[in-house]
Amino acid sequence: MLRDRFFKFGLKLAGGLIALLIFSIFVSLVIASIPSIKEFGLSFVFGKEWNPVEEHFSALPFIIGTLLTSVLALAISLPFSLAIAFFSGEFSKKGLISSLIAYATDLLAGIPSVIYGFWGLFFLVPLIRKLELSFNIPPYGVGIFTASLVLSIMIIPYASSMARDVIALVPSDLKEAGFALGSTRLEVIKKVIFPYSVSGIFAGLLLAFGRAIGETMAVTMVIGNANRIPHSLFEPANTLASVIANEFTEATSDIHLSSLIYLGLILFIITFFINYIGNMIIERMSVNGRS
CA distances from 128 to 82, 122, 133, 138 (A): 26, 11, 9, 11
Residues 36 and 259 sit within 8 Å (Cβ to Cβ):
yes
Of the candidate CATH numbers 2.40.50.100, 1.10.3720.10, 3.30.70.580, 3.30.420.10, the domain formed by 2-290 belongs to 1.10.3720.10
Cα 210 from Cα 194, distance rounded (Å): 23
pLDDT tens-digit series, residues 257-277: 999 999 999 999 999 888 888
Does position 237 have pLDDT exceeding 90, yes or no?
yes
CB atoms within 10 A of CB 45: 14
pLDDT in the model for residue 61: 93
More confident residue, 16 or 72: 72
Domain residue ranges in the chain? 2-290
Residue 150 has pLDDT above 90, yes or no: yes
Q: What is the mean pLDDT of residues 169-197?
A: 81
Under DSSP, the state recorded for 52 is: T
Please give the average per-residue pLDDT across 70-74, as a whole number: 94
Average of per-residue pLDDT across 247-257 = 88
Task: Identify which has the larger pLDDT, 284 or 135.
Answer: 135
Residue 1 pLDDT > 70 = no
- C-alpha–C-alpha distance, residues 151 and 221, integer Å: 12
Whether residue 285 has pLDDT greater than 80: no
Higher pLDDT, 267 or 13: 267
* Confidence band, pLDDT 50/70/90 cuts, at residue 97: confident
> Of the segments 22-26, 71-75, 94-98, 154-158, which one has the largest average pLDDT value?
71-75
- Please check the confidence at residue 7 and state whether its pLDDT lies above 70: no
How far apart are alpha carbons 27 and 235 in whole angstroms? 35
Tell me, what's the pLDDT at 291? 47
The sign of the dihedral angle between the CA atoms of 251, 252, 256, 261 is positive
Position 279 scores a pLDDT of 77
Following CA atoms 271, 73, 188, 90 in sequence, which dihedral angle do they give, to the nearest 10 degrees? Answer: -90
Q: What is the pLDDT of residue 243?
A: 93
Residues 90, 92, 93, 95, Cα dihedral to 10°: 180
- Assess whether pLDDT exceeds 90 at residue 66: yes
Q: What percent of the chain has pLDDT over 90?
A: 37
Selection from 102-106, 141-145, 194-198 with the highest mean pLDDT = 141-145
Helix axes of 96-110 and 144-168: crossing angle, nearest 10 degrees: 130
pLDDT for 3 beyond 70: no
Average pLDDT estimate for 123-133: 92
Residue 233 and residue 147: Cα distance in Å, rounded? 10
Nearest partner of 84 among 171, 10, 23, 153, judged by Cα:
153
Q: pLDDT by residue (tens digit) across 18-35?
A: 888 888 999 999 999 999
**Please, what is the average pLDDT of the chain?**
86
Rounded Cα distance, 44 and 36, in Å: 8
What confidence tens digit (pLDDT) does each residue in 184-195 have? 777 888 888 888
